[in-house]
Each structure stands twice: as structure tokens, then as C-alpha cells.
Structure 1
Amino acid sequence: MPLYNDQAVVLRNWKLGEADKIISLYGVEHGKIRAVAKGVRKTKTKFGARLEPISYLKIQCWEGSSELHIVSQVESIELFPRIKSDLELLRKGLAIVEVIEELIGDSTGDIEIFKLLVRALDTLERRDSPYLLSGFLWRLLQVEGVSPELSCCVECGEPEGLEFFSNSGSGLVCSSHGSAKRISKGAIEVISYISQGEVARALALGDSPVRLEVEELAISQVENLISHKVKALHLGSY
């Protein structure tokens, strides 16, 4: 079995047998990794603590003959203690890693996705923003090839009267196709900032009803793409 090294963020873990855990990670080079951590449930060790969700690690794994690899060594890069000690920050952090777990398929690593994931967790650890979660979701959708059309109606190309947002069309629609969800000018402006790469501008905004609107639209887009709800995105108010 070949041995490899990578940097990875823990997305999820679950029990295996009486003593082991399966760990789901997203790595720089290997993308989605599922690996067995042997014996971590028998004793309380730093090794096991590092393999909890929202942990950024250097890992060494044996590549197994099946889809499950075997964790050999881990070293902490950042464990995000502030996120894990604050319930509201933890909810956001769990939402971020669960979206990666649900949305990103098994493939080789994507450095843009990895940087986006680590940057979102690092920002959450240092200074939370009302728009952090929605900013992360809209940027991730863009990386996955789902960019919202904000300049004209996705149904007919009309550039005026854009008052609604279509989940199925991933963009604005005019009043002639107004069966979609109504969207405010403020929400269009914020989504435009994020889509144009001005995420810092969005993160600097204070909380308002627009934040909830932008967030709900992003969540709907993600869940429309994967065809089911992401549980962590509905754990109370963000």
C-alpha cells in the first residue's frame, strides 16, 4: 500500500466498529479522502482530537485497496479553537464543511476549492461577518460552474424589470416570468459584489434583512444542485 502526505480539512467523521472511526477530509492534492483512524475511540488522545470536523491538518495515509485509506499520522496546522468554543460560530463552521462534503464529488484536489474552504474557516476564526456563510456559498457555486446571471432575464434576455430570482435558471428573471422568488435591489447588489470577486466588500456590510435574503438564495442554489437539504444549513439562525 503506497504512503502519501497531504494537507487536509476534516469534514466529518463517524463510528466504525468498537474502536475506529471513518474520517472524511478534503485535501489539497487528493481531494475528497475517506480514511480509517484505527483505535481512536478506545483512548482519549491528541491524535483522535485532531480528527474532529473543522480541523486543518498535515496528514499521512496509507492508500488502501478499497475506497477507504488508513490514517497513519496527523499534525495540526490549525484547529480553530474559537469556532469550536462558540455555538454560533460552530454552526457556521459545520455548515461550511458539510457543504463541501455534500457538494464536492470524489476527485483529485482542486486548489481553488481548498483555498476557499481554509480562507472561510480562517475568517470565521478571526472575525465573523454576517455575510461570511453566504459569501462562501456563492463563491463555491461559482467555482463549481454555477454563476448567477444578474444582467438580464435568464428566460428571455430582457435587461429591465429584473425583480425575481430563478433557482432553476440560476439568475434574475423579469416581471413577465414572475413566478420565481422576488429579490430586492439590495440583495442583487450584494450577490453582484461576491460574483465579481469583491467578497471583502460584502463581508464589511452589517447585518440586515438583505443578509437573510442573500443567504436563503445561496442555500436554495446549493440544495437545488445536490437535490436534497444540507442539514447543517438549517441548524438555527445564522
Structure 2
Amino acid sequence: MPTYRDQAIVLRTHKLAEADRIVTVLARERGKLRVVAKGVRRTQSRFGARLEPGMVVDLQCYEGRNLDTVTQAVSIAYHGEQIARDYRAYTALSTVLETADRLTEEKAPALQQFLLLQGALAALAGGAHDASLVLDAYLLRALAIGGYAPSFHDCAQCGDPGPQLAFNVAAGGAVCPSCRRPGSVAPARATLDLLAALLAGDWDVADASAAQHRREGSGITAAYVQWHLERGLRSLPHVEREPHAAPPQNESLSLGAGSGS
């Protein structure tokens, strides 16, 4: 049978039969794939630990009639240990992976989404920036790649030059007084500047932002994402935004938790 290799990031897993799993990955060249990993739930599996959500792997598969089958998985980057040490980073990771899954289609190349996801995982593991900022930057950029880039300066409806003072998620971002509609909010100008910096990757501005503007920006980002995805992200309400918060009791920090595996 024809075989292929590709770099891939594991998005989620599901049980199959007694010892197998269906693994959903975002591959660099082939886009989102659902592949069968046989025997990975056995303790003696050769590569079961390499196919957990958040893993970056070099994947070899052979093509099947319905689903392809994994024959080899070699770790390229393992961020799990670093991310699992920080509960805020872990909850952010869950939302990042779910968003990538929602914004991509099976067997449709999505190189930009792959590279963005790869960068987000490295940033969450590296700890150079606040996990909440990394998450919001990822969400805004992922939506922009998907065709839903928000405006934080000029009017998203008529293009009237900003800075505009109101924001409407349905309108696509900042709106002028003439285009302002019910449901618009009036965030602090510093909040919109922060969101613009996250979208552009200006980390000097983002890292220097005040806590109240980060909180307000996270609320706007969450509303914007869930509006344009048309249904809520299940993991987003569980994101731990405040620093130094302890994880809930009995909450597993395994990267496989909540993956359906």
C-alpha cells in the first residue's frame, strides 16, 4: 500500500476497539488527518506516548480505504512536561488544540495554521510570555488566517480611519459612531492597542500591558472567536487566566486528559 511521511501535531485522540486509537493530527503538508494507531493503548506500544495531544511528531502512515494507519511516529518536539508544570499553560493548550481542530478541514493543506500552532506550543512551553497572552495571540492570528481578521483601529464596516472607540464582534472589530450597532462595547483604548499588538506579534507592547487591559482583551477575544466559530469552544471556559492559581482538586495534568482517549 502507498505510504507517506509528514510532520504532524496531535490535536486529539479517541478510543478504537480494545487497544487502538483514532488520532486526529494537523500535518504540515497534508492538513488535518484522522489516522489509526494500532495497539497504542497497550503498555508495550512502541509509540503510544508519542501520539498524545500537543506532541509534534514525524509521522509515517500507509494509506487505507477509509482511514490511514500509523506505522511509525518519531518525536520532533515534546512540550508536554514543560506545559504540564503550569496549569495556566495547560488549560491554554487545550483551547489552542481545539481551535486548530475547528479551523481546519480534513485533507485540506493548512501550512499557515500548522506553523502558527507549532509556534504557539513552543511559546507555551517556553514561558517567555504570559500563557493568557500567548493564547489570545494564537486565537486572533488563527482567525485571521481563517479569513476573520479583526480590526482594532479603523472601522471594520466602512473603513473610516481610527482610532475608533467601540468594538462589535459581529461587525468584525472596531466601529465608528455611524456604524455602531446594538451589542457594541467601548473598551479602553489601551485594550484595543494590546489586541492589535497580539495580532501583529508586537510582544514588547503586549508584555508591558496592564492586568486590567489583559482581562478586558481576553473577554473580547473569547467573544470574537466564539461568534465566528458559530459555536462555543468547550475548553475555553476552563482556561485559567489569573496567575498563580492552583489547579482544581483531582484535576489531571496529563496531556491525554479530556482528549477522549
Aligned-pair identity (%): 30
SS in 1 for 2:47: helix
Contact (CA 8 Å) 1:135, 1:203: kept in 2 or not?
Answer: no
Which residue of the partner structure matches residue 133 of structure 2?
131
Which residue of the partner structure matches residue 96 of structure 1?
96
Q: 1:205 to 1:45 in 2, by over 3 A?
A: farther
Q: 1:5 to 1:226 in 2, by over 3 A?
A: same
Worse overlay, 224-233 or 30-39: 224-233
Q: Greater strand percent: which structure?
A: 1
Q: 1:109 to 1:190 in 2, by over 3 A?
A: same
Q: 1:208 to 1:4 in 2, by over 3 A?
A: same
Q: 1:189 to 1:229 in 2, by over 3 A?
A: same
1:144 aligns with 2:146: yes
Q: Please, which runs of 5 or more residues in structure 2 have no aligned partner?
A: 242-261
1:199 aligns with 2:198: no
RMSD in angstroms over aligned alpha carbons? 2.0
- CA deviation after TM superposition for structure 1 residue 206, in Å: 4.9
Which residue of the partner structure matches residue 71 of structure 1?
70
**Greater relative contact order, per chain length (Cα 8 Å cut-off, separation 6+):** 2
Q: 1:103 to 1:84 in 2, by over 3 A?
A: same
1:237 aligns with 2:240: yes
1:216 aligns with 2:215: no
Q: Please, which runs of 5 or more residues in structure 1 have no aligned partner?
A: none
Contact (CA 8 Å) 2:91, 2:240: kept in 1 or not?
Answer: no
* Deviation digits for residues 1-39 of structure 1 (CA, Å, limit 9, x no counterpart): 310000011000011121111100001001101001111
Which residue of the partner structure matches residue 189 of structure 2?
185
1:166 aligns with 2:165: no
Q: 1:168 to 1:178 in 2, by over 3 A?
A: closer
Worse overlay, 204-213 or 3-12: 204-213
Worse overlay, 130-139 or 210-219: 210-219
* Deviation digits for residues 175-199 of structure 1 (CA, Å, limit 9, x no counterpart): 452521222201111122233x233
Contact (CA 8 Å) 2:155, 2:176: kept in 1 or not?
Answer: yes
